Structure 1
Amino acid sequence: MLNKYKMVWAMTLAYALLIGCKKDEAAAQAPVTLKSPLTQRLLDSAGVMAQVFSDTLFEVSPGIKETDIHYLSREGYSMRAFILEVDVNHPNILLQAGTPYNATAYAMQTVPDIAKYMEKPDYRVMAAVNADFFNTSTGEPRGIYVKDGKVLKTTWANARSATFIGVLKNGKPYIGDRDDFVAKQNDLEDALGGGPMLVRNNQILTQTDLSVEPRTGVGMNEQGKMYFIVVDGRSFYYSNGCTITQLGQMLKACGSTIAVNVDGGGSSTFMIKHPLADVWQVRNRPSDGTNRAVGNAWMIISR
């Protein structure tokens, strides 16, 4: 009799599991109503998404929108991406190089701590991402470095340090390569180095680095929109990372006609001033398990 009850219980459990699996499968296959136009662009043209599980869209502050996407990659892996769309034509928006302790000396701080040293009552840090690669012992950036109109570093550590993101003295953002820096350095208010160029003249560039990692990238178009993207990685069930080619495909799909890769891995940090609470929130999951101290960051300021 006991064996009979065990058999009935096992059959019931197996049936429940089967029904549960079918429900999960049906839910995974059910169409999702996309909330963000950026998600639709990525799904249509980036070539990296097989399916979108969910997305969110909200305004961080006037001129700054955030899109978060949970998707299945073409390779069959779970992925999370976080995107800031920033209207740099907005009169209250300013892009500024963030440095540890808001100083020019080399050092390291987490992105939220860098924001604390830059924030003023009429000068609010609304969002930020990590920026250039750096020496993990000293905080010295691998690429060039300009802050408050002062050119502090003009050398590049290696071939990978090939680009920069800057703000001209007229307030306009600028992305270029080493040759562009030579031509523009005296016109720059702020500038931080970057890695490989991903998109130029609206064309995706060929890359030799095929590694899959957490990534941070920055792009812009000619209409005054900037795109800051972080793709999480190194966590199989949560998010697995991407190549820099895929990062370029995503930035181009967003609308970038020029885009660069910046520091990634455990440095990848995507932070906002949350619109529902006056606190800074790191929205992604840095792969170190905690916020890494970095050499510099890009701050989106509301004045």
Structure 2
Amino acid sequence: MKHNKKLLPAWLLVLIDSALIAVYILGFYYSYYLNPRQLESAGVKTNQERQDSLSNSSMNFNDVESAAGGNETDTANENIIDETVGANQSAASDETTPPKTTDNSTATGNLRTKFAQHFSDTVVSTDNSYTSRDISIQVNKYTEGSDGNIVTYYVADIYIADITCLASGFAKDTYGIGYAEDLLSMDESFNAILAINGDYYGNGGDGVVIRNGEVYRKTSSDSDVCVLYYDGTMKTYSADEFDVNRAITDGAYQAWCFGPELLDKAGRSITEFTASRHIKEENPRTAIGYYESGHYAFVVVDGRQSGYSYGMTLSELSDLFENLGCKTAYNLDGGKSSEMSFHDTLVNRPAEGGREVSDCIMIKEVK
């Protein structure tokens, strides 16, 4: 007797296939991105011949670019405060808008001498500031807008006399994929004074990774690249412009691959970015800015929190860095990753409580 073979309905077959594909994708994602595995460094050391321009107080430094900084801010001795800018308040108020540096003199001589007014012979630490012989940090909180359009962000104004005071660190102190750690934990393990999340290099296998003068990965990607050189200059490049071998020869000290770049070559804000639509929209942000050799800014913007901070678009972040007076600025990993710690304490209020990240950028004593 012949029996008819009973077939499953087409919709059920599609559902089963979809489930199998989802399981395969999740398994691959876990094994490749979440399952920790150490990677081998490229083992290349960058050219450090220009390091002496920052790291040795007895040597001279010649900065061929216009200096953008050097002036004390009106809030230098205040605690981190919540300053709200209402709709009718002036955007130029000293208490509501970050001070813009206007000194355009050409820098000549050692940075410790050049920025002498910012450093101190002994360590002086307050709730929102830190000064020593090599480091000056001032952290301030700003709240702008009103009603349903509020944004809260933090700006760390940083001077260093030794480039190695601006360092990077890997989660678990290990270069690899799948390693992640809370920012505060990394802050404490590396003895950082100030720290922000980095570019989350461990979330993929592409993009250059240069940290503290060592080249870990040379592969290219379609993202903008930010390079901090041993002479203290910081530059951003599009994927087409960037040449990793040239950067190594020129003395790249750090290189991050996330982006996009936030200012044009003249230091003006931009509106067109090499980023997806989601990245361009309002989000929590972390970014790094450059005024001149030895003078930098760390910025963290809180977001996705109604009534406290909605975040910033890339265009708004670009405007902020132009208003700060930076020449170069670069967007780092954001969203729940956006965090800033100072004095071993989390400064901002990260979205959904934050998340562990694969790397950090920090300011620390090196002597």
**Residue 205 and residue 101 in structure 1: after superposition, are their counterparts in 2 closer, same or farther (change >3 A)?**
same
Question: What letter matches 2:356 in structure 1?
Answer: A
Cα distance in 2, alignment partners of residues 185 and 38 from structure 1: 38
SS at match of 1:197: coil
- Percentage of pairs with the same residue: 22
Cα distance in 2, alignment partners of residues 216 and 297 from structure 1: 11
- Counterpart among 180, 189, 197 of residue 130 in structure 1: 197
**Residue 193 and residue 92 in structure 1: after superposition, are their counterparts in 2 closer, same or farther (change >3 A)?**
closer
Cα distance in 2, alignment partners of residues 118 and 194 from structure 1: 23
Which residue is equivalent to 1:205?
270
Which residue is equivalent to 2:12?
none
Which residue is equivalent to 1:166?
228
Q: Which runs of 5+ in 2 are unaligned?
A: 1-85, 102-126
Q: Is the 8 A contact 1:95 1:173 kept in 2?
A: no
Q: Is the 8 A contact 2:213 2:252 kept in 1?
A: yes
SS at match of 2:219: coil
- Counterpart among 166, 179, 202 of residue 95 in structure 1: 166
Q: Does residue 132 of structure 2 align to residue 59 of structure 1?
A: no
SS at match of 1:226: strand
Per residue, is there more strand in 1 or in 2?
Answer: 1
Which residue is equivalent to 1:190?
254
- Counterpart among 313, 326, 337 of residue 267 in structure 1: 337
How far does residue 131 in structure 1 lie from its aligned partner after superposition? 1.4
**Residue 214 and residue 141 in structure 1: after superposition, are their counterparts in 2 closer, same or farther (change >3 A)?**
farther
Which residue is equivalent to 1:105?
176
Cα distance in 2, alignment partners of residues 245 and 31 from structure 1: 21
TM-score, structure 1 as length reference: 0.70
Which portions of structure 1, spanning 4 or more consecutive aligned residues, are displaced by more than 6 angstroms? 27-33
CA deviation map 1:276-297 (0-9, x unaligned): xxxx1111111022x3111211
SS at match of 2:351: coil
**Residue 152 and residue 288 in structure 1: after superposition, are their counterparts in 2 closer, same or farther (change >3 A)?**
same
Within 5 Å, give how 1:145-294 maps onto structure 2.
Answer: 145-157=209-221, 159=222, 161-168=223-230, 170=231, 172-177=232-237, 178=239, 179-182=241-244, 183-186=246-249, 187-200=251-264, 201-208=266-273, 209=277, 210-222=280-292, 224-273=294-343, 280-289=344-353, 291-294=354-357
SS at match of 1:247: helix
Cα distance in 2, alignment partners of residues 203 and 31 from structure 1: 22
Cα distance in 1, alignment partners of residues 87 and 215 from structure 2: 52
Question: What letter matches 1:100 in structure 2?
Answer: A
Which residue is equivalent to 2:145?
72
CA deviation map 1:24-73 (0-9, x unaligned): xxx9968899666952549xxxxxxxxxxxxxx94233411111111216
Question: What letter matches 1:84 in structure 2?
Answer: A
Q: Is the 8 A contact 1:132 1:141 kept in 2?
A: no
CA deviation map 1:239-280 (0-9, x unaligned): 00110111011011111111111111101011111xxxxxx1
CA deviation map 1:178-220 (0-9, x unaligned): 4344221242233222311111321222225441111111110
